[in-house]
């Protein structure tokens, strides 16, 4: 298996623009997680899905952030409008019930 696949690896955008991050979980995994990592706050959970249904989005910083999982093999995290303070590395992870989390390589987002 190729592991959790995220795209793009790097994104540079200007303040106010819409940003969409993409994730393909490992086939057969029924949990999907979105995390954000910064030097100041470390690794924080934003939202997670179980069987494509959002279970807990309490970590989503504000209404500018939204996440979807239209099917078992694809999820998106959207920021609209983006702000400089959103600059961070965004990770997607997946796991099977009872199994370990596997993380993707992340998307490095820079908002200028």
Partner 1 sequence: TQLLEQSPQFLSIQEGENLTVYCNSSSVFSSLQWYRQEPGEGPVLLVTVVTGGEVKKLKRLTFQFGDARKDSSLHITAAQPGDTGLYLCARSQGGSEKLVFGKGTKLTVNP
3 state DSSP class of 19: strand
Closest distance to partner 1 from the beta carbon of 81 (Å): 27
3 state DSSP class of 86: helix
Query: Is 72 one of the binding residues for partner 1 (CB under 8 A)?
Result: no
Give the phi and the psi of residue 82 in degrees, each rounded to 5.
Answer: -80, 150
In terms of Cα–Cα distance, which of 52, 34, 30 is closest to 104? Answer: 34
For the range 63-68, what are the long-range contacts, defined as Cβ-Cβ under 8 Å and sequence gap of 24 or more? 67/34
Closest distance to partner 1 from the beta carbon of 104 (Å): 5
Closest distance to partner 1 from the beta carbon of 15 (Å): 25
Site string for partner 1, 26-55 (x = CB under 8 A): -----x-x--------xxxx--x-x----x
Closest distance to partner 1 from the beta carbon of 6 (Å): 8
Which residue's CB is nearer to partner 1, number 81 or number 89? 89
CB-CB contact of 35 with 45 (8 Å): yes
Which residues are at the interface with partner 1 (CB under 8 A)?
A: 4, 31, 33, 42-45, 48, 50, 55-56, 59, 91, 93, 100-101, 103-106
């Amino acid at each position: 298996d190729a592991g959790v696949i995220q795209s793009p690896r790097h994104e540079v955008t200007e303040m106010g623009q819409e940003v969409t991050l993409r994730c393909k979980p490992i086939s057969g995994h029924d949990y999907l997680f979105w995390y954000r990592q910064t030097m100041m706050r470390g690794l924080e959970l934003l939202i997670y899905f179980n069987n494509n249904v959002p279970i807990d989005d309490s970590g989503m910083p504000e209404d500018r952030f939204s996440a979807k999982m239209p099917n078992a093999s694809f999820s998106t995290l959207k920021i609209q409008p983006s702000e400089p303070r959103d600059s961070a590395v965004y990770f997607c992870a997946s796991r099977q019930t009872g199994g370990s989390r596997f993380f993707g390589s992340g998307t490095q987002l820079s908002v200028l």
